[in-house]
Structure 1
Amino acid sequence: MPQTPEADENNDLDLTPSPKPAHYAEQALLGALLLEPARLDDTEPLIAPHFDSHTHAALFTAIRTLPPPDPADHARDTAWLNAVLDQARPHAPGLNASYLHTLVQFCPQPKHAAAYARMIRADNTRRVLRAHAERLASTATDPGLPNPAASTLGLVDDIGRVLDFLAEQFAPHPGSLPRTALPAQVTPETGEEDLDEERLLLATATAYPAEVQQMRWLTEADFLLPLHAALWQSIAALVHRGDMVDPVTVLGEAQHRGLLTDSLTPKDLMELVSTPAGSPEYWGEKILQRALLACAQIVAARIAAYTNDLANTPHQLITGSRRALAEINSVRARWHRATAPIPAPAGRPSARPAPVPRAASPPHRPSPSVARTHR
């Protein structure tokens, strides 16, 4: 088993009970380079940030910085090894000569340096994608962001660029789809404010059905409550058929769709769609933004699951992550359609200036019987 240098308890080379394969690859590579410094050419394009261990990265930087020794001189004395130690120690205070000796002993085959370097780069790919997934999940759940959709989609673009870069570094191979069991989809917490937004959409859509015709970007999957999704479909169906829309006609459509139950009476349903505030598009955008952020959380969880599965190769990580991003990109397309300014005739301003909100009215909370009964 590899040993660690004699250092304080905070030294990052202290072994955990089960070190990852990359830990041993880092030790083997450094041992190979200490034995045969000329093998450094075999490690391209490996760089210090690819190492998981800070101390290993400091050693690798020292090896790359110092001119390689004459092979004959290197075989006779330890002058170059001492120079590497002196170069690295200011950046890794716990490093000592004993650990360099351990690395040399641990290397199985110096001629396999290129293979060790590939293992290190593969593990770095895993860590980089995991970090991006964690940041995406954190941003999508941050309530303090002024523009959460833009911030979240910016991180989605970052992940896409990282995947494009990584795809150029690792060649594809057969069987490139990850076999990782995906985490169970967590049902988002349903707050009263979120449900109020859905109720207000239904009421304003009933009051202003003309706007519903332009809201094909909103789907039933965006709603938290299945009843609200079904009622949205009922209203949209009336609008798209060109039928008259009011609380009574919505009640009739809901009846034909089998939405009326003992817990949802005709009176309850009509109350639900009879108190408008603001505009349908305003509430629809809020619902779609919530769905976008929820999708981002799912994507982040899937990418994290792929990176946590050590069986996945870099190309499998790339392929699986791209498939995950495809899901949020479909929601993104609908978000862009929802928020894009409406083109206006020449000489007139846009019908929908982007910075101006479409509803200034505060949410109206329906009566308790409507608010709590139909979940």
Structure 2
Amino acid sequence: MNPLHRAEQAVLGAVFLDPGQLERLSPWLRPEHFYRPAHQALYGAALALRDRGHPGSTAAAGAVPVSWVADAVAEAGTRTRGVTASYAHQLVAACPRPEHAVVYGRMVLEGAIHRTVAEHAVRLHQAARADAVRGGTEETLLRADALAGALADLASRWGTDPRPVPPTTAPEPAPRATAVADGDVYADEKFLLACLAARPDQLGTVVGWLRPSDFADPGHQQLFWALGALHHRGEPVDQLTVLWEVQRRGALTHSSLDAERVLTVCDPLAVAGSAEHFGEQVVAAALVRTAAESAQRIRALAEDAAVPAGRLIGHALHALGPLDEVRQRWHTARTGPAPDKPSPPAPGRSSSGRVEAARARSRPRRTAAPTPSAASLPAVPARTPRRSTA
């Protein structure tokens, strides 16, 4: 039998044998953490009876009235089908030690953490694929926020700090999502590169938030690397300089890029457009693509039962890091960078004093004439006093 199934049975059996265990379980274990609907209904029924002040909920272990189990089964029957009194007695027999209910409950919660993280990762991946088809980001961002919120809640219930934890071993790279790298994305990337090559002055508006990794095509990544390098060094940008820079980077030996393709993309006769607009499209596509890859990586972690619950939460938050980074740059592309906060004035100095101090720093300093020392002065002969002739 599945150990998780046995753990759920043991928790319910402990609650039936010792209702006081609910006080130790209810702050962090909820009915939805159980996998089987019958178990969810029975645990929820026990909580409801306790909240209504059922006499059996305060009974000590060994003195639990029969009505406690019977009323819990009746209450659970209003929530789901298939709950019988005989099954409740099976649950009692499945509990090894009622005083170990907290340990059994943590087993149930750990299974729920794996299951919940996997479900949210699947929803995020589906949302990313759907947004890739319709060219949006709204559903992807909504599901990403839901996953982050679920991880924070699970971390609180598990009693761990919700912080990103990198895996001890390098994870296998998630496969590139082909659904988000369609022809429209490639066309936007190509047109963006053509705009930048035709009007290099637009590079200054996109280099702050656009990265080579945002391009789905490896050849386009190398072309943007070359354009960015030329812009950084202040060198001219044209077909030949871009081709030379690509060759210097060793990218022409790559199967995705050759000289003819470089010259075609950087054709000065290509129709120019707004690089900022197409840059936003490229970053949006990168956001959706990164979300799909992060979701696949998180799902693989969640489906590995050997990963402890606390470590799973930390690894999942770490896997969301690349998505958060792209999301921040996408927001900057849409709204612009946040303005810098002005530096506070120096205490005890007026504005005119600051101006004068700045001017003093910019004036050339006069070199003072060296003061001769006593040893360097020439010796003065002593004067002989004159005698009076009178």
Q: 1:53 aligns with which of 36, 40, 51?
A: 36
RMSD over aligned CA atoms reads: 3.1
1:205 CA displacement: 0.6
Distance 1:72 1:172 in 2: 32
Q: Distance in 2 between matches of 1:235 and 1:132?
A: 39
Distance in structure 1 (CA, Å) of the matches to 2:10 and 2:205: 62
Counterparts of 1:105 and 1:310, CA distance in 2: 27
Question: Max radius of gyration: which structure?
Answer: 2
Counterpart selection for 1:303 from 288, 298, 303: 298
CA distance in 2, matches of 1:259, 1:180: 30
Alpha-carbon deviation of 1:338? 1.7
1:284 equivalent in alignment to 2:279: yes
Does structure 1 residue 168 correspond to structure 2 residue 163? no
Alpha-carbon distance in 2 for matches of 1:182, 1:314: 18
Q: 2:198 aligns with which of 197, 200, 207?
A: 207
Say whether the 8 Å CA contact 1:178–1:306 is kept in structure 2.
no
After TM superposition, the structure 1 stretch with the greater mean CA deviation from structure 2, 70-79 or 314-323, is: 70-79
Mark the runs of 5 or more structure 2 residues left unpaired by the alignment.
340-390
What SS does the corresponding residue of 2:9 show, helix, strand or coil?
Answer: helix
- Hey, what's the Cα distance between the residues in 1 that align with 2:64 and 2:242? 92
One-letter amino acid matched to 2:265: L
Matched, 1:221 2:209: no
Decide which of 5, 13, 16 is 1:34's aligned counterpart: 16
Instruction: Name the SS for the 2:320 alignment partner.
Output: helix
Shift of residue 29, structure 1, vs aligned partner: 1.2
- CA gap of 1:177–1:236, structure 2 versus 1, over 3 A, is closer
CA offset at residue 305 of structure 1? 1.7
Q: Does 1:142 align with 2:133?
A: no
Which of 189, 211, 226 aligns to 1:198? It is: 189
1:238 to 1:76, Cα distance in 2 relative to 1, 3 A: closer
- Counterpart of 1:113, as a letter, is A
Residue 361 of structure 1: aligned partner: none
Aligned pair 1:81/2:69, yes or no?
A: yes
Assess, with a 3 A threshold, how the Cα gap between structure 1 residues 266 and 92 changes in structure 2: closer, same or farther. Answer: closer
Q: Using the alignment, how far apart are the partners of 1:320 and 1:126 within structure 2? A: 12
Matched to 2:312, the amino acid is L
Q: Secondary structure at the match of 1:98?
A: helix
1:105-116 aligned at under 5 Å gives the runs 105-116=93-104
Please give the TM-score of this superposition, normalised by the length of structure 2: 0.73
Q: How big is the shift at 1:277?
A: 4.3
User: 1: distance between equivalents of 2:105 and 2:12?
Assistant: 10
Aligned residues: 324
TM-score between the two structures when normalised by the length of structure 1: 0.76
Equivalence for 1:363: none
Rounded to whole Å, the distance in 2 between the matches of 1:63 and 1:262 is: 65
Q: Distance in 2 between matches of 1:322 and 1:205?
A: 36
Matches of 2:67 and 2:81, distance apart in 1: 20
Name the CA shift for 1:255/1:58 in 2 (closer, same or farther; >3 Å).
closer
**Per-residue deviation at 1:212?**
0.7
